[in-house]
Amino acid sequence: MSTMNKTQEKIASALETAFAQHGFAKQGVDALKEATGVSLRTLYKYCPSKEAMIITALEYRHTRYLNTIFNSLNDSDSPKAEHIFNQIEFWMSEYAPSGCLFHNAVAAYPNSEALSRLLARHKFEVATNLAQALNLKGYEDELLLIHEGLMQSWPLLGNKALLVANKLVSEYLEDRSP
């Protein structure tokens, strides 16, 4: 994501919050304008359509998610997998108790190629970062499947989903140990 000025960041953050709290389909542009606290002209300057507003919010969320999961990895005394899953648990509890906002956006707008591309990019970047952080290069597909299973089952299983995902990744790590 390119560098944002303060107004763009304010808009992106407010849109992310609004979509996370109220979904995508029910909110009109007037409600989104109110949520951002900017004029309609300013909102349209940075986001000329509702789809652009959703993309802006998801791009912002993508960066926040990656930063939350991976930025403190080297500062932790915990094993890397445990730290990553603790961060994912924090994220899901705080920001995504009803599941993945990217999937929710595509479900609300299934004909949007831009949203489908953004969903795919987000998921593959997460998997690539997981593989790199856990020294599991070549296991990106497996990590993507585990991560997605965790995201989709969180609303149903909560912390149990995290425990199962952590167990699966730990088994991959054990299999690679000398």
Residue 176 confidence (pLDDT) above 80 = no
Per residue in 37-80, pLDDT tens? Answer: 999 999 999 999 999 999 999 999 999 999 999 998 888 888 88
Q: Characterize 30-65 residue by residue with b for buried, 16 or more Cβ atoms within 10 angstroms of its Cβ, and e for exposed.
A: eebbebbebeeebbeebbeeeeebbbbbbbbbbeeb
Compute the half-sphere exposure of residue 23: CA atoms within 13 Å on the CB side of its CA.
6
Q: How confident is the model at residue 177 (pLDDT cuts 50, 70, 90)?
A: low
Looking at the chain, how many residues does it have?
A: 178
Residue 178 confidence (pLDDT) above 60 = no
Q: Exposed/middle/buried for 3, CB within 10 Å: 0-12, 13-18, 19+?
A: exposed
* Residue that wins the pLDDT comparison between 154 and 116: 116
| pTM of the predicted protein model | 0.90
The C-alpha atoms of residue 82 and residue 69 are separated, in whole angstroms, by 11
Instruction: Return the CATH architecture of domain 6-176.
Output: Orthogonal Bundle (1.10)
**Which amino acid is it at 152?**
Q
**Helix (H/G/I), strand (E/B), else coil: 177:** coil
The C-alpha atoms of residue 171 and residue 86 are separated, in whole angstroms, by 17
The answer to whether the beta carbons of residues 10 and 90 sit under 8 Å apart is: no
Per residue in 119-139, pLDDT tens? Answer: 999 999 999 999 999 988 999
Specify the pLDDT at position 17: 95
The C-alpha atoms of residue 14 and residue 48 are separated, in whole angstroms, by 16
For the chain, what is the total number of helices (H) and then of strands (E)?
Answer: 9, 0
Compute the half-sphere exposure of residue 125: CA atoms within 13 Å on the CB side of its CA.
16
The answer to whether the beta carbons of residues 59 and 119 sit under 8 Å apart is: no
The answer to whether the beta carbons of residues 38 and 8 sit under 8 Å apart is: no
